[in-house]
Amino acid sequence: MNTRILFVKRPTGWADPSCFALESCPEPVIGPQDVLVQALYLSTDPYLRGRMNEGPSYAPGFALNKPVVSRVVGRVIASQNAKFAVGDHVWGFLDWAQRVAVPRGEGLYRIDASLGRVSLAVSALGMPGLTAWVGAIELGMPAPGDTVYISSAAGAVGQLAGQFAKRAGARVVGSAGSDDKVAYVLERCGFDAAFNYKTTDLDAALREHCPKGIDVYFDNVGGSTLEAALRHANVAARFPVCGMISAYNEVGDRGIRGLQAVLSKRITMTGFIIYDHIHKLPAYLARVAPWFRSGEMVFHEDIVQGIENAPAALIGMMQGEAIGKRLVQVAPE
């Protein structure tokens, strides 16, 4: 028998275990041109919370009583498609299941294992990495000597955005939700300064760590952190807006105060969705994969074992448990 995770209830506020169900189901069967994939790693991402809601968004909402879908790294275990051979490592947007049949192999991408460990295809060498690059470098445009502030700095995107900005010659400051996360970005990612936003006043911390003001704010959280960044921004600052995690589980919209600073300081604030930039992935991989192979850049994965633990892993990630990228390992590589 196969095992999969269903989405069974839309949350109000925070998601909880009652939103999901573990189900045994028949093994998938493939036909002509189809591919059978053994899942290895399931990706947990903050945007999945938005897909639990009804209503329009940039990604379709989850259907009730159907499997959760996210980026999945897997291994081909049967194929009737000439493009994919048994043993190939692949990734795609797949059901949360131990094994998945992919009709005609559509939406599957072969992973080049020579670039690094295969799990990186849905993290540092995948969309989260490209997100960090587009936001920090293409939209943030840091110059040597600029001050770059990154919220959720120890997350899958934040840890990379900070390292990219450092390579561009900027002074990088991060905020995170625990002392362990602060230590990680300082000691492993090379941030110049970092603070625990849960135990430190935001304005006091930004005055201390960004004494010359903020030139680039990479926004992952929105809310009061964005408001503080607006207060400390320099004229002509760039604000790439990647996410607003602080609002994903709120009921209602509290809004953002202080937006008049966008006008008075001539701030460029740009929201971006990585799907609009996915065509840049090959060039991104060619540029950054050598940095990971050589150890010039680091990336931490927080791996939870077992598909049955996937709902708890996702909920915990949204509550700030993980350092780096949280994955669920379904089977050995």
Find out whether 214 and 149 touch, Cβ atoms under 8 Å: yes
pLDDT number for residue 60: 79
Give Cβ neighbours of residue 175 (< 8 Å, ≥ 6 apart).
Answer: 149, 150, 151, 152, 153, 194, 195, 196, 197, 202, 205, 225
Percent of the chain at pLDDT > 70 equals 98
Least confident range from 46-50, 138-142, 198-202: namely 46-50
- The SS3 assignment for 49 reads helix
Please indicate, yes or no, whether the overall pTM of this predicted structure exceeds 0.85: yes
pLDDT number for residue 252: 65
- What's the pLDDT tens digit per position in 96-118? 999 999 999 999 999 999 999 99
Buried b (16+ CB within 10 A) or exposed e, 79-98: bebeebeeebbbbbebbbbb
pLDDT number for residue 302: 96
Tell me the CA distances in angstroms from 321 to 125, 133, 177, 219, 245, one per residue in order.
Answer: 23, 24, 9, 19, 14
Q: Which residues pair with 90 in a beta bridge?
A: 74, 110
pLDDT score of 224 more than 90: yes
Structure tokens at 39: 């899942």
pLDDT band at 54 (very low <50, low <70, confident <90, very high): confident
User: Comparing C-alpha atoms, which of 101, 97, 103, 68 is closest to residue 1?
Assistant: 97
Phi and psi torsions of 141, nearest 5°: 45, 55
Query: How deeply is 157 buried, as exposed, middle or buried, from its count of CB atoms within 10 A (0-12, 13-18, 19+)?
Result: buried
Stretch (H or E) spanning 239 = strand 233-241
pLDDT number for residue 112: 94
Average pLDDT, the chain: 95
Within 10 angstroms of residue 3's Cβ, the number of other Cβ atoms is 17
For range 192-197, the mean pLDDT = 98
